[in-house]
Every structure is written in structure tokens, then in C-alpha cells.
Structure 1
Amino acid sequence: MSEWMQERAEAGSGTGDRRARGAILVALGLRLLGAGPLLILALLVVGVALWTPNFLKPGNLSNIAAQTAVIAIVAMGQQLVILTRGIDLSVGANLALATVIGGLMFRAVDSGPLVILAMLATGALVGAVNGIVYVYGRLPHPFIITLATLSVCRGLALALAINHTTMRGMPEAITRLGDGATLGLPNSFFVVLAVAAALFVMSRAMVWGRWLYAVGGDPNAAVEMGIPVKGMLVSTYIVSGLCAGIGAVVLAGRTAAGSPLYGNLLELDTIAAVIIGGASFLGGRGHLGHALVGALMIGVIRNALNLQNVAVFYQMIAIGVILVVAVEADVLRNHLEARARVLQSARGQ
């Protein structure tokens, strides 16, 4: 009898060891996937530097920072929307409309603060429309309203733009903000840092941020907890629209113009940046670093291809392929997390 019990104990011990090893492997896989985007960015920088000697020159690095500023700012707003299991397809057209409104305001009043305020208000207003119609219109998904406002904003921008084309001229304060430099770094880089710091405080140090993650994690549970889910969703789309407005200020300053053609496919770039950076479409998980890493990755890839004189359409293909890989990585991460929960449950028993 004692020998039989000893054999059972040894068999149980072997099974436990296998489960422990499996849990360790799954945890390691999750860590690698979590660090994957940052690791890929580092390897990408090293590879491009070896491939293209001019890549690491200070002027080129400054150019990358300036080029990715708009995508990074708008992607951070998109990140918050995706945290709530939503999506904002209107950010590109919203940005274009904001630059046109800024151009019209500049023709009426040569005041940097008023032009900036006009662009920010335009972005926030479009975001408010998205959130209010989605929430209180009881739409099944924000894809519908944000696709509609994409078309509306682009049409309004074309209708309001003088001669339906680029409107030259912006106040000096805006051009200095978008195209100037401080301490050898583009001023737009500091705008990115300021937006990131503000959103970090909102999402990590305020109740609003805890509610945001709760709504994205499980909306029904958030309602039962007494969280104002409707107000949270509306505020998230307002912040996303405001980020588009800030991006409009930076882009208008960099080009010293407003145009209804700006922001073309920006919605796809920002979604790609968020997902490439490691966030999940399932909501409730992710942080602003994902958007920043993804935006930098896109900027580095495009800059490297530009330095090698690669055609634009090949750059689009490259970004598309990388996006597919990032989505597959998200699927793998979800599978590993489910596997980890099963192993943890088995160990608890």
C-alpha cells in the first residue's frame, strides 16, 4: 500500500513540475511579447544605422522627431479610445478641418493664441460629436459615427478652404512651435512630451484613468460599480479630438499653412502605431508608451526607406505588413494569457 501511495505522490509531483515549467514558459512568453515592440524598435534602429550611415546624424534624428510628432500626439488620443474598445476614424479629417479653421481665423485676427484656441476647439468639438452621438444615439460601435464625421469633416474642410486648397500663412507663434527648435531639438518634440505628461497624469494618477481602464476592461461591471460609463466614453472621444487639434497646431506650424488635404490616412497611421506598439483591440490594457513606441517605429521605417529612395507605395506596403504582424502578436498574447490563467487555476487546485 505504501509503495502505491509513493508512486502516486511521485506521479503527482511530476505533473506539478510540468505545470510549473509550463507556467514559467508562458510567463516568459508574455514578458517577451510585452517587451517585443520596444526590443524591435531598438533592433530596428541598430539595423537601419548599419544599413544607412546618415541615419544617426543629429540632423536626421531631429527630422525623425519632427516628422513623427503629429502621429505621436494623435496616436496617444487614439490609444485612449482603443482602451475603451472603440476606434476613432475621424482624426485625420478632424485635423484637416482644424487647420482650415485656424487659417480662416488667422485671416480675421493675427493672433497666435486665438488661432491655436480655434484649432483646439474644433478638434474637441468633433470629438464631442463623436462621443455624444455614439453614446446617446446608442450606436452599436463608434466605427459608424467616426466614419461619418470623417466624411463630414473632410467635406467641410474642402468647402471652407479658400479656393479649396492650401491656405498659406500662420502666426509666428505657431510656426515657431511647429518648425522651430530649442537646444537642438524640434519644439514639436517638447509638445509631444507635454501631451504625454498630461495624459499620463490623467490616466495613471487620476480617478478618470482608473475608470477608463475599468470601462475598457468590462463595461457591464463598470456600470455595476457605479462608474459613469457614458460620461467616460464621451470624455475619451473629446480627448481624442483634442489631440487631433493639437496635432493640427503642430502640422500647421511646421508647414505654415492650413489645408483640407492634411491628415490623409492619419487615422490608419495612428491605429497602426497603437497596435504596433503593443496595445490590444480588446480594450482595458495598454499605456501611452505603446502609442509612442509605435509612432517612432513608423517614423524610423519611413525615414530609412526615404534615405534609400524607396517609393512611397512600398512604404505603405511595409507599414501594412507590420500591422498584420502586430495584430497576430496581440492574438498570441491573448492566447498565452488565457493559458497562464488555466495553469494558475490548476496550480491553485
Structure 2
Amino acid sequence: MVSLDVKQATSTRKGLAWLSGATGPLLGLVALCLFLSVMSDSFLSLRNGLNILDQITVLGIMAVGMTFVILIGGIDLSVGSVLALSMMVMGWTANVAGLPMAVAIPFALLASALSGLVIGLMITRFRVPAFIATLAMMSVARGVANMITDGQQIVGFPDWFMMLAIDRHFGILTATVFIMLIVALAAWIFLQFRAEGRMLYAVGGNPEVARLAGINVPRVTVAVYVLCSMLAGLAGIVLAARLDSVQPSSGLGYELDTIAAVVIGGTSLSGGAGGIGGTLIGVLIIGVLRNGLNLLNVSPFLQQVIIGVVIVIAVAAETLRKRSR
């Protein structure tokens, strides 16, 4: 009987391993959904569920990149500005320069990747703290995004591009939601089953020990920031498809939501612990919370307060969990 109980417990732990310590946030998400389903008749409808998925695509893609950064003990405050830079590069290339979208989209991703490369080099070569390096890039990228069109928005893209965020395949999911799910799945596989993915946990746990173990810590750091910026650029492309326009003011405050989603999902700000499963739960918590508050006609100003309180509770819970260990 004892042996059976042990086997069942082991099986349960394996089954929840993908959550990377985010069982608490998962229970919180379930409780939140139960509460909102009681408070609002329309919350549990299929249409509302699909709306939530559509609304979290941009945040979900950005949060995957931020997970990688926080896992190595870093931070990236520039993702919102890089998102705007990517959008403006794509919009200018397609609508002003007149190049096809097949060229404009890679140009946008290249611009965002270069932003991440600069951040990574500042951190590894010039020993600039990640907070300062990404804060500087936040200002630079936003300034360049405004300079491209002198602060003006660009409207109108090919119909097929706009349909990426409108046309529901199988009558359920849009292409933009599929993109988010593919990005998340690829990141989860990378962290769980690739040696390079496990290196991120080693670097976040103790960079010096990782270096002594033969891991090229500067190279890993640069690669992670490049990836995070590229995913921010990809999120900008997804957002452009949803809006059918681009403007340099896009992405304001997104860096805070992105970091919040990762932290709420159980990834430690000190690095070395967390994962994509928890991040997706964090993204869903923010998406469901915003959607539910809108359904309940809660003031947008009060929504900011509530989300801030949720972030504090999540960080405090993580601290208490570490102490209990």
C-alpha cells in the first residue's frame, strides 16, 4: 500500500514537472476563473475564451523571451520599445520603401535582433548592468522608432497580413495564436530537452560555477538577449496584424506586463528556476484578470491597482516558498 502511494506521488510530480514550480499560480488561475464565472454570465462562453487567447498573443510571445532572460538572472526593460521599433521598420519598409512584406518582416526581425545584440555586448563586454543597458536601449529604440516616420503612424497592409489575426482556422484559432503556441512549445522543448537549455539554468544559478563547468557565459548571455529582442520584434509584427497599422507609441508599459507574467508564473527574479509552463500560466492570469475586470465594468485605473497587488502577492508567495525550503 505504501509502495503504491509512493508511486502515485512520483507520478503526480512527474505529471506536474512541466509547470516548473508553478502549481500555486495554476491553482490561482483556476480560482480566478471560478470566481469570474460566478460574477459574469458571459465569462465561460466560447467567444470570450477565444477573445482572451487573441488578447494574450503579444504578451505571450514577449513573455517567452523574458523567461529566458530572467532564467539567467537578467532583466530586459527594452522589450516594449523594441516591439515599437520592429513595427515601424516593417511599416516603413513595406509602405514607404514599397518592398514586399516577405522582405519587410525579416528586416523588422533583424532590427530587433540587432537591439538585443547591442544589449548583450554592453552587458558582457563593457560590464554595464543589465538594468542600465536595457534602460538605455528602451530610450534608444523608442527614439529611433519615432525618427523613422517623424512620430507618425503608418496604416494599411496587405489583406492576407491582416487576416492572420482575424481568420479562425478550424473555426477556433487565428494564425497569431498558433504563432504564440508554436513559440511557447519550441521554447519549452529547448529548455527541457536540450543541453543548451539546461545551460541557462546553470548560468542563472551561479555564473561562476557555470563558467568553471565549461559554459561560455558571455556567449549564452548575448544569445539570450538577442532571442528576447527577436521575440519582442515578432510580437510587434503580430500586434501590427491585429491593428492593421503601426505607430511609434506602441508597446508603452509592455515591459512591466511581460516581467509580471513571468514572475507570477513562478520564475525566480534571481535566476536559475522557472520555466515556460509557469510563464504561460502567468500570461493567462493577467489576460483572464483583465478580461474579467472589463466584463465587470471595473475602472481601468482600478485595474492597474489590482494587477499591481497581484504581482506583489505573487512575488511574496515565491519568497515564502523559498524560505520554507
TM (norm. structure 2) is 0.90
Determine if the alignment matches structure 1 residue 210 to structure 2 residue 198. Answer: yes
Q: Is the 8 A contact 1:101 1:119 kept in 2?
A: yes
Q: CA deviation at 1:215?
A: 0.5
Paired residue type of 1:238:
V
CA deviation string 1:51-98 (max 9, x = no partner): 111112222111110111100110110011000111000000000111
Task: Trace 1:86-235 onto structure 2 (pairs within 5 A).
Answer: 86-107=74-95, 108-139=97-128, 141-161=129-149, 163-183=150-170, 184-235=172-223
Aligned length: 305
Of 55, 58, 71, 2:46 maps to 58
Large movers: runs of 4+ above 3 Å: none
- Name the SS of the counterpart of 1:87 in structure 2: coil
Paired residue type of 2:155:
R
Determine if the alignment matches structure 1 residue 332 to structure 2 residue 320. Answer: yes
> In 2 relative to 1, CA 35–278 (structure 1 residues): closer, same or farther, beyond 3 Å?
same
CA deviation string 1:187-233 (max 9, x = no partner): 22111111012212222222210211111111010111110000000
Give the percent of matched residue pairs that are identical in Structure 1 and Structure 2: 40
TM (norm. structure 1) is 0.84
CA deviation string 1:278-324 (max 9, x = no partner): 11111111101121111110011111111122221111111110010
- Name the SS of the counterpart of 1:116 in structure 2: helix
Paired residue type of 2:168:
A
Of 263, 275, 288, 1:275 maps to 263
How far apart, CA to CA, are the structure 1 residues paired with 2:295 and 2:248? 28
How far apart, CA to CA, are the structure 1 residues paired with 2:209 and 2:288? 40
CA deviation string 1:78-129 (max 9, x = no partner): 0110001110000000001110111101112352222221221122111111
> In 2 relative to 1, CA 226–307 (structure 1 residues): closer, same or farther, beyond 3 Å?
same
Paired residue type of 2:266:
G
Larger fraction in helix: 1
Q: Which moved more, 1:108-117 or 1:280-289?
A: 108-117
> In 2 relative to 1, CA 171–122 (structure 1 residues): closer, same or farther, beyond 3 Å?
farther
Give the corresponding residue for 1:71. 59
Q: CA deviation at 1:170?
A: 2.1
Paired residue type of 2:278:
H
Q: Is the 8 A contact 2:162 2:241 kept in 1?
A: yes
Paired residue type of 1:323:
I
The answer for unaligned runs of 5 or more in structure 2 is 1-12, 14-18
How far apart, CA to CA, are the structure 2 residues paired with 1:302 and 1:113? 34
